Structures are given as C-alpha cells and as structure tokens.
Chains A and B, each alone.
Chain A
Amino acid sequence: MSTPTTHTENFEAAAAGASTDVAAFEERHKGLVGRFHEVLHSTPAIVPLIVLVAATLIFGLVLGHKFFSPFALTLILQQVQIVGVLAAAQTLIILTAGIDLSVGALAVLCSVIMGQFTFRYGLPPHLAVVCGLAIGTAIGGINGWLVSRVKLPPFIVTLGMWQIVLAANYLYSANETIRSQDIEQQAPFLQYLGNTVKFGGATLTFGVLLMLILVLVLAYALRSTAWGRHVYAVGDDPEAAELAGVNVHNTLMSVYMLVGFICGLAGWVMIGRYGSVSPSATTGVIGNIQSITAVVIGGISLFGGRGSILGAFFGALIVGVFELGLRMAGANPQWTFLLIGALIIGAVAVDQWIRKVSA
C-alpha cells in the first residue's frame, strides 16, 4: 500500500471522457393510472378536490335543485367557516410535525375575551377584538415556547393547554352568554364578520371571505416565501434543517404564534356566525378534532413536511358537503359521522399510495 502502483492509480482517469449531458430517458408508457399517479404525486391537493367535486355532483344528482343551488352551496361555506379557519391553523402545526389540540378552545376563549372586554370593561369593540387577537397570539406563543425551548411533545403541550384554556374560559366568563341582541345594539362591530354579501341567490358572509383570503395568503406564504420553505424543512427533519441553516426555534415560534392569532380570528368569526358570545360553544370541545379531520382528509401527512393548505380547505368543505347533503336527504346524522370516518381512513390509504414514487 505504501507504493501505489500505476495500474491502481489511473482507473479514475478513464472518467475524463464522460458524457456531459443531463440524463434523460425515454418516457415509459405509463398508461392512465400511471400518469394520474404522477399528477397526484406533484399536486397532492388534487385528491381531496376530486372527492369534493364528486361528492357535490352526487348529492346534486340525487337531491336536484334543492342542493345544487347557489344558496345551498354558499350555505356550506358558511357552515364550514369556523372549522375552515381552524383547519388552516391546524395545517401549519401539522406541517411542522406537531398537532394542536387547543385550537378550538382557544377560539372560544378569544371570542369570550372580545365579548367580555367590551361588555364588562366597556372597551371599544375594535380594541376588544385587538385584545382577543393579541391574547390568542400570546397563548400560541406559550405553546410554541414549550414545544421549541422546553422540547415537550406538541401533543402533550396542547392537550394540557386545551384543558387550561377551556377551564379559564368558563371561570373568566362565569359561564355567562352575551346575548345576540345586546351585541347588535351596543357593539355591532363584534358581529362584523357576520355581514353578508349577496350575488343572486349566493350569500357570502365576511367570515367566509376572511376564510378564503386566509387560505390563499397562507398557500402563497407556504409555497413562495422562504418562511414557508422553512416550515416544511422543520417538519421534515428539524436536525437537518438546523444544520442547513434554518433557525428552527424562530420558525416554530412564528408558526405557533400565527396559529394563536388565527384562532383569535376564528373566535371573531364565531361571533359573526352565532351572533352571541357563548363560553360553552361546542367548538371548544370538538373544534380540535374537526380541524384535524379536515387536515387529514385534505391529504396532509401527520408526520409533517408534506401536504398543502388547499387540501385542508377542501377537506373542510368535503365534511360540509356531506353534512348538508345527508341532512337534506333526510338521513340519520350518524351516517355523516360514519362516512367521514371512512373518508379519513380512505384519505390516508390514498396518501400512502401517492407516496410510492415507483408505481
């Protein structure tokens, strides 16, 4: 080994005349399934979109004009607006390989804060809304700090925060509901997101518009900004992201604080939707599961780093279509839950199939 001989030395030189073209292969004829698989692999949000369109068409064919009208279709948007906003928040957390069980409770607490700050302390409603959003952001920040700095699992942090926030919400509000008429007379700004815009038979509330804008803005941020790329990288492999030059702590903090802020927005949407401020709104208890359901049906991986926010939005709409369609068809509401359960399992199965690069 000490004296390398020439015949072992020179084999690398043979690579000098190597081809300098970028590799290209003849496209294998993949057939319809293969090409479909390829499209799905590059744009995973297409699966929930197909399910959404198919479900809408089927209900439309069965129920006719009752379902397939601008009124009914926009009613679905109104019914999913709260879950849609929460699902946008949940998507961000799940992309970082976390999970947030406190989103629904936090939304309720923020709505209670907006109401009580106005009616108990006499704050102008604009300021009360700002306070609600700020407190939502702060609680999100606490979640983020516990996850990023104290290194607790997100499931544990938000399981605890869910109970804390829900209990604080009952204690602070003394379980009192602020009636819709009182808000309408004294602080109509709190119900601002309940205002409607009408095009023909279609009715959109400001809350629905806020949900649509929020989803589009987040889709842009995740796709086309450095912050978005960092969110995916952190969810994919936090250690690799750190070594590659991503500030993992700041990314996680920004995500959790943004999610707290979005939960505050969801609280405001709730006041617009229900008119009243109620600490015992069901969103506090099932909002988390509803948002996770939308995210999973939307094809976002619970292991983080994969999926798109549009998918989660379609997921929320699919649930809305099933709920309204089955109710209009006069089916037992349990059928809705049964079908959604099947959809969750189906969505994950499809996700596994898409993942296989070589199909």
Chain B
Amino acid sequence: MEPILKARGLVKRFGRVTALNRCDFDLYPGEILAVIGDNGAGKSVMIKSLSGAVQPDEGEVWLDGKPTRFASPIEARGAGIETVYQTLAMSPALSIADNMFMGREIRQPGVMGKWLRRLDKQAMEKFSREKLSELGLMTIQNINQAVETLSGGQRQGIAVARAAAFGSKVIILDEPTAALGVKEGRRVLELILDVRSRGIPIILISHNMPHVFEVADRIHVHRLGQRLCVINPKDYTMSDAVAFMTGAKEPPEAAIAA
C-alpha cells in the first residue's frame, strides 16, 4: 500500500540547532499514527514541515504519491490537511464562530453575499455549536463568546473541533488532549476513532502513553530529529516505547526497517 503522506530525508536547522536530521515519515490511508518522543526531539517541527508552517531545508514530501511543497499552512489546508497546533492558532478577541471559520467564512446566499460579501453569521454559529456539542463541550455558554474568555481546555476543544470538521485528507493533532478534562479527553479519543472510521488518517502527537496505546495503529518513535523506529502497539508495552524514545533500550532491527 502507498502511503498517503510520505516524507524522506527532511532536514531543518534553526541557526546552529538541528531540529530535523534526515527524518523519514510515512502515513498510510485510514490509520491512526501516533508520534511519540522526548521533549525537543523535533516532533512539532516535523509536523510543521508536513503542514506547511515550516519549510524544510532539505528533503521531500509526497501527498497521495505526488511530490508536494507547501509554502504556507493555507496551501496545506487547501490540499485537505488540517492541523491542531500546540499553540492552537486562535485569535483571542474574536468569537468562537469567527475562529472556527477563520479563512473559510460562509457568505450569505444571494445578492448580500455575492456583491456585499456579507457573512452568514447565523449559519456559522449553528455549525460551530453542533460541532462543539459533538465533542461534548457543553460548558460553553455562548457561541459568540470571545475565545479569551474560555479556559485552556475549552480552547483546545474548539481547535480540535475545527480540525475534525474541516479535514478531508489528513488530520494532524499536536498534543490534543494535554489541557483537556477527563470527559473531553475521552471525547477527543472517540472523535479520533470516529474520524478514522470516515476513512481519514490521523497523526497524533501525544505524551499520554495510555491514550497512544489505546487508539494508535502504529507508533512512530522520534528521537534526536529522526524516526528511530515504528512499532505496533500490540507487540510492545508502554515501557518498551518509553525505553526506545529515551534511548534506554535499542530498538529491534525489524522495527527500524518498517
């Protein structure tokens, strides 16, 4: 099977700091791929190279077998790759609905929308409310609330809802459950499984080993700016995975090839 998203030999340096050191990456159709690694291993930079937020110095990326080079996150989004960044990418003073539809606003039908470019705020609010309810974010009282008035977990929930609602090819989640409560974290996992059942593959970066081992089909272990190995969660334990990513244990030969 051909990977839907593939990268070979990605290199990214920030001055004298090497963030990615000839990194490879494969995501297959319909799978949940977890990416684990120590802090500073280069997970986020790898993700940003795939989503267009960072341009790698060397290396190539293929989407659907075609060589691709995203100059900006907007291009990647146009190609159907939706990302939840660690920083969440929200405008604090704007409302939840404004943030959900940032860069893909719905205009009113007819003359008002076409010539006066008037936004259909009602439709956007209704859609946002539905998506938040799907995620179980019932503690949000007002969909027109400014995002700055929400808690960190609620903001993260909105970012996840936004990605899940609009991603059509690949959804990338960078630490999506870090700030969430028990119930919302569980909902995000259910949502991830739900998205996979719609046939959309997911890249999940997480430090939460129980979550990773529960939902992931394969686990990409990242170490020192490289893919160290790829393991099947059914064949290894959580302590094995932690040992690999911290360098306490050498990864098995077979996993390196994968």
* A contact residues vs B (CB 8 Å cutoff): 1-4, 9, 11-12, 15, 18-25, 220, 224-227, 229-230, 232-233, 236-237, 239-247, 305-306, 357
Contact = CB atoms under 8 A, between A and B. Distances in A.
Interface stretch (B1-9, B35-43, B85-93): B85-93
B99 interface: yes
Given A227-B117, A229-B94, A232-B94, 18 more contacts: A15-B182, A18-B136, A22-B138, A22-B141, A224-B118, A225-B119, A226-B105, A226-B107, A229-B119, A233-B91, A233-B102, A237-B90, A242-B73, A243-B73, A243-B83, A243-B89, A246-B102, A247-B103
B207 interface: no
B209 interface: yes
A244 B91 contact: yes
A151 to B, nearest CB: 16
Given A24-B141, A229-B98, A243-B85, A236 B92 contact: yes
Contacts of B116: 220, 224-225
Interface in B101-139: 102-105, 107, 116-119, 121, 133, 136, 138-139
Nearest to A243: B89
A308 to B, nearest CB: 12
A149 B141 CA distance: 40
Most chain B beta carbons < 10 A, residue from A22, A233, A243, A306: A243
Contact of A22 (B77, B105, B119, B140): B140
Contacts of A243: 53, 73, 83, 85, 87, 89
A240 B91 contact: yes
B94 A233 contact: yes
Contacts of A305: 91, 93
Contact of B119 (A3, A226, A239, A246): A226
B238 A1 contact: yes
Contact of B182 (A1, A11, A220): A11
A338 B107 CA distance: 47
9 contacts: A1-B238, A1-B239, A12-B186, A225-B116, A226-B105, A233-B98, A239-B87, A240-B90, A244-B91
A151 B99 CA distance: 25
Given A15-B186, A240-B88, A245-B102, A225 B53 contact: no
A210 B85 CA distance: 44
A20 B239 contact: no
A2 B238 contact: yes
A41 to B, nearest CB: 9
Contacts of B87: 239-240, 243
Contacts of B105: 226, 229
Contacts of A20: 133, 136, 138
Nearest to A249: B72
Interface in B177-211: 182-183, 185-186, 209-210
Contact of B90 (A242, A244, A306): A244
B63 interface: no
A236 B182 contact: no
B87 to A, nearest CB: 7
A23 B119 contact: no
B149 interface: yes
Contacts of B139: 23
Contacts of A242: 72-73
B185 A12 contact: yes
B232 interface: no
B18 interface: no
Most buried by A among B87, B93, B182: B93
Contacts of A3: 237
A240 B88 CA distance: 8
B138 A246 contact: no
Contacts of B141: 22-25
A289 B102 CA distance: 33
Contacts of B238: 1-2, 4
